[in-house]
């Protein structure tokens, strides 16, 4: 399958998907989270991190101003928010390559650094659907297969 399409009818569905993704992704995976302001990107990232930490109360501050927040978990996870990235070259300075070499990178606003992101990545794109959201996950085939297995679809 080249694309996984999922309706996310409410916030709980987004959280559950984040938890499933935490079981499916592994070190070296880059998951770009694409969608408008308010689409659900941070909700998914927070659920992913809490599941990976096995801690429902894990503080997940928005990296809007710091651009990246790193977590030393079962698998190290770096949560990027590139909304305020001034130049693609800044991604280097933020330690993106190192973060990806030993862990997972979650990237909000990937549009601001497309050229610098790895080609073998996953993209989760949110769009509004009624009161809920529609999500499509596309990209690296082997990672998509892992996600399919963890979703049991
Ligand atoms: P973003 O990081 O994309 O700007 P957020 O994750 O902050 O968006 O989410 C914005 C709002 O959308 C939150 O109030 C959240 O509860 C809500 N939300 C998340 N997922 C869904 C969904 N599947 N359906 C409806 N609302 C959702
Ligand atoms: Mg956000």
Tell me what pLDDT residue 152 has: 81
Find the length of the chain: 153
Pocket test for ligand 1, best of 31, 40, 46 (most atoms within 8 A of CB): 40
Does 153 score more than 60 pLDDT?
no
Dihedral of alpha carbons 20, 26, 27, 29, sign = negative
Domain positions in the chain are 3-151
Residue range 98-117, pLDDT digits in tens:
999 999 999 999 999 999 99
- Judge contact between 149 and 23, C-beta under 8 A: no
Q: Is 88 in the pocket of ligand 1 (CB under 6 A)?
A: no
Q: Is 125 in the pocket of ligand 1 (CB under 6 A)?
A: no
Q: Is 41 in the pocket of ligand 1 (CB under 6 A)?
A: yes
Q: Does the interface predicted TM-score (ipTM) exceed 0.90?
A: yes
Residue range 21-62, pLDDT digits in tens:
999 999 999 999 999 999 999 999 999 999 999 999 999 999
Proportion of the chain above pLDDT 90, given as a percent? 97
Angle, alpha carbons 35-41-46 (nearest 5°): 175
Interval between CA 43 and ligand 1 midpoint (Å): 6
Give the other-Cβ count within 10 Å of 78's Cβ.
22
- 27-54 burial code (b ≥16 CB/10 A, e <16): ebbbbbbbbeeebbbbbbbbbbbbbbbe
The class of domain 3-151 in CATH terms is alpha beta
């Amino acid at each position: 399958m080249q694309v996984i399409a999922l309706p996310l009818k409410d916030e709980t569905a987004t959280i559950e998907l984040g938890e499933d993704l935490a079981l499916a992704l592994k070190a070296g995976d880059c998951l770009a989270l694409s969608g408008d302001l308010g689409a659900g990107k941070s909700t998914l990232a927070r659920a992913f991190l809490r599941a990976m930490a096995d801690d429902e109360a894990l503080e997940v501050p928005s990296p809007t101003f710091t651009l990246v927040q790193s977590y030393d978990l079962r698998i190290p996870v770096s949560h990027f928010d590139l909304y305020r990235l001034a130049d693609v070259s800044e991604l280097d300075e933020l330690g993106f390559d190192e973060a990806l070499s030993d862990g997972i990178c979650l990237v909000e606003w990937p549009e601001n650094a497309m050229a610098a992101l790895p080609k073998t990545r996953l993209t989760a794109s949110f769009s509004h659907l009624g009161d809920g959201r529609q999500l499509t996950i596309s990209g690296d085939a082997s990672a998509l297969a892992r996600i399919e297995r963890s979703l049991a679809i």
